[in-house]
Structure 1
Amino acid sequence: MKIFEIIDGDKEKTVGALLYFEKERTCIVELQEYLDEWSAPFLFASYVKNKVYTIPRAVSALWVRGRVIPSGRQNISDILKVHHLKEYDEMKFLEISEGRCSQDEMYIRQLDKLPEFVVERQQKNLLECVILGAYNILCFFADGNTRKIDLKNISKKDSEAQPIDRLAGLDKVLENDRLYRSGKLGTGGYFVTFNDSIDVPTDILYESGEKVPLGLEDFKTFVRHNIIDTTESCEMLECSRQNISYMVNQEQMSAVKEDVRGNLYLKGEVLSNRW
C-alpha cells in the first residue's frame, strides 16, 4: 500500500490522505474532520457536508483520474516514452505530477506511515465478514465489536438519512440471491462488496444491526477446536472413510464444507454418532 498526504497548497495544511492498495488497484481518500463543504476538495463536498469523511473507492478513483493525463489523449504514447513508462498508469502519473492540476491548489506528498487520524478511524474497519442466510451479514470490526446486520433494514433507510445514496445497488443484491452470496470483505476492510461492484461502507454497517457479545477470536477458537476433518472423524468414531460417507448419506451427520481432498465436520455432530 502507498500512502499520500493530501495538502491544500493555499494554506499549506493537510486536508486528508490518499491510500492506494497496489495489488487491488484501489484508492481510498480519508479526509480530516475539520473540513467543511467549502474547504474540502470540490468532488467530496457533498460527502463532507453530510459528515462523511471516508470517501468511497469509486469516488476516490474519480478524484485521481481528474488530476492526471487521460488515457485517451492523442499523444499519450509520446508522454509514456518521456516518463519511461511501458503502459498507462494513473497512479504513476499522479506521483509524477504530485497530484497538481489547474482546478485547485491541492497536491500530494508520499508518507512512510498512516496518519494517526486514519489509524484511529480504521479501528471501525472490518476484519472479517460472514454472509449468512436471509440477507444477514455477520461483521467483525477491528475494535473488537461484532454485529449481525440485516441488509433489508439498512436498505429501508429513508433518503434523508442517506442523502448521498451510499447504498446504490443494494436493492439489486436483495433481489438476487446469487449476487448476495458473492459478498466478501472489501479492500482494506473499508466495505463489504457484492460482485466487486456494489459496496456497503463499513461505517454504515458499524452503526447498524444487532451487537453480538462474541469476537473474532471466539470464532477462531470455535473453528480451531470444533471443526474436524475426515481423518479425525474416522479416528473419533473408530471407523473407515466409507463408514463416514454412509453416515453422511443417511443424514446422520453433514459436512460443513465439502472438498475432494476431504470434508470438514462439526465435532459435536461426529461425537453424537458414538452415543
Structure 2
Amino acid sequence: MKYFEIRSDLPDDEKLYGVVIYNEKRDEYLVELPEDLEYKDAPILLDKAIIDGTYTLGPRVSHLWIEQRVVPIDRQNIGSILNAAKLDEYNEFELLKHADGRCAQDDFYLKPIPAKAMPIDICSRLAKRIKDYVLLPDLKIIVFFRNGETRLCDLNKLQDKYFWINYLTINENFYYSLHLVTSGYGIAWDEKRFISCEELYSIGKQQDITYDMFKTFIYQRTISTTGVCDALDCSRQNVNDLMKRDKLHSVKDLDNTKMFLKSEIDERMG
C-alpha cells in the first residue's frame, strides 16, 4: 500500500485536503477526506462526498480524479514523456509519482507519506474497516468490523442514495459477486457500485449471530486449498510454505485438503 497526502502549492496553505491510498496489487485507488474539510475547499470531483455525508471515496471516483492528473496514453508526445520519466512503457501510477500528481486544472499535488503519518480522524475510520461479511438474500449483510463489532446492515436504507441497490437482486450471480474493496474500506459489486465501511457502520445494528447466519458464513466465506491456489496463482507447496512461515492459517484440516477464511486470502491479494 502506498499513501499520499493531497496538498496545495498555494503560498502559506498548510491545509490537508485528503489522503490517496494506492493498492499496488489491485491497481486500485481510494481517497479519504479529512472530516474538517469544507465543501468549498475540497478538490473538484471529490467535493460531492462531503455533500453525501461520507469522507471515503470509492475506487471509481478516486480513479477518475487520479486520471485527471496523469498524462493520457494517447498524448502526441507520449514517447518523450515516458523517456523523461525513465519508463519503457506507459504506467499510470509511475507517471502520477513522476509529476507528484500535479495537473494544470488546480494547485494540488501529492506528497508521499508513511502509513503511520495518516491523520488521526482518518486513522479512526480504520477501526471501522471490514474484516469479513455474510451477504444475505434480502439486501441485508452481516458485517464483521475490525473493532470487534458485528452489525446487521440493511442496504434498503441506502436506496434513496444509491438507486442501483433496487436492482441488485435481479441477477443472483451478480448479487453474490460482492467483494471487499482495498483493505476492507468498503464493499463493491463493480467499480460503479461501492458502499464504504463508514456507511455500512452508520446503518448497521449490533447483531448476535444465529445458527443459520453461521452456516451461511461457512458456505460463503471459507475456501479450500485448491481455491487458495487458484486465487493466489500458486502451488500447494507454496500454500504449505506460507503456513509454515505463519503467513497463512487454516481453520480446519481435512484428509485431502484444508479450509481457509476467504478474508485472509483477500488480505494477501491486497
* Contact residue 179 and residue 195 of structure 1 kept, 8 A: no
- Residue 113 (structure 2) pairs with residue 118 (structure 1): no
Q: Residues 31-60 of structure 1: CA distance to partner in whole angstroms, max 9, x if unpaired?
A: 111211111111112222333211121111
Counterpart contact for 1:149–1:208, Cα < 8 Å? yes
Partner residue of 1:40 out of 35, 39, 42: 42
Whether the aligned pair in 2 keeps the contact of 1:17 and 1:30 (CA below 8 Å) is yes
Displacement after TM superposition at 1:9 (Å):
2.0
Q: Of the candidates 72, 75, 78, which is equivalent to residue 74 of structure 2?
A: 72
**Aligned residue among 142, 147, 162 for 1:138:** 142
After TM superposition, give the deviation of residue 140 of structure 1 in Å: 0.5
Q: 1:207 aligns with which of 180, 187, 202?
A: 202
For 1:210, the aligned partner's letter is K
How far apart, in 2, do the equivalents of 1:155 and 1:38 lie? 25
SS at structure 2 position matched to 1:12 = coil
Equivalent position to 2:63, from 61, 81, 84: 61
Question: What's 2:8 paired with?
Answer: 8
Distance 2:199 2:121 in 1: 19
1:168/1:198 contact within 8 Å kept: no
Q: Is the 8 A contact 1:17 1:29 kept in 2?
A: yes
The separation in 2 between residues aligned to 1:189 and 1:132, in whole angstroms, is 19
Q: 1:185 to 1:260 in 2, by over 3 A?
A: farther
The superposition leaves residues 177-224 of structure 1 with CA deviations (integer Å, 9 ceiling, x where unpaired) of 11111112221211112256532222221122432146xxxx7xx98x
- Residue of structure 2 in register with 1:51 after alignment: 53
Structure-1 residue corresponding to 2:157: 154
Note if contact 1:135-1:180 (Cα within 8 Å) is conserved in structure 2.
no
How far did 1:87 drift?
Answer: 2.1
- Flag structure 2 segments of 5+ consecutive residues without an equivalent: 225-251, 260-270
The TM-score normalised by the length of structure 2 is 0.71
In the other structure, the counterpart of 1:273 is: none
1:155 and 1:32 map into 2 onto residues whose CA distance is 23
Q: Contact 1:5–1:16 at 8 Å: present in 2 too?
A: yes
Residue 19 (structure 1) shift: 0.5
Match of 2:29 in 1: 27
SS in 2 for 1:14: coil
Aligned counterparts of 1:154 and 1:32: Cα–Cα separation in 2: 25
Deviations 1:221-259 (A, max 9, x none): x98xxx9x9xxxxxxxxxxxxxxxxxxxxxxxxxxx9x9
SS at match of 2:109: strand
> Matched residues in 2 for 1:43 and 1:197: separation?
15
Give the alignment of 1:119-268 within 5 angstroms: 119-151=123-155, 153-156=156-159, 158=160, 162=161, 167=162, 169-195=164-190, 198-213=193-208, 261=256
Which ranges in structure 1 are unaligned for 5 or more consecutive residues? Answer: 230-256, 265-275
Work out the CA distance in 1 between the residues paired with 2:163 and 2:73: 27
Alpha-carbon distance in structure 2 between the residues aligned to 1:260 and 1:41: 56
Does the Cα contact within 8 Å between 2:54 and 2:198 map onto a contact in 1?
A: no
The alpha-carbon distance between structure 1 residues 117 and 87, as it changes in their structure 2 partners (threshold 3 A), is: farther
Name the count of aligned residue pairs: 217
What is the CA-CA distance between 1:82 and the residue it aligns to?
2.6
Do the aligned partners of residues 142 and 72 (structure 1) sit closer, same or farther apart at CA in structure 2, a change above 3 Å counting? Answer: same
Instruction: Give, in whole Å, the separation in 1 of the partners of 2:131 and 2:198.
Output: 13
2:84 matched residue in structure 1: 82
Gap change, CA 1:183 and 1:112, over 3 Å in 2: same
* One-letter amino acid of the counterpart of residue 93, structure 1: L
Matched residue SS, 2:40: coil
Verify the 8 A CA contact 2:56 2:196 in the aligned structure 1. Answer: no
Q: Distance in 1 between matches of 2:255 and 2:89?
A: 41
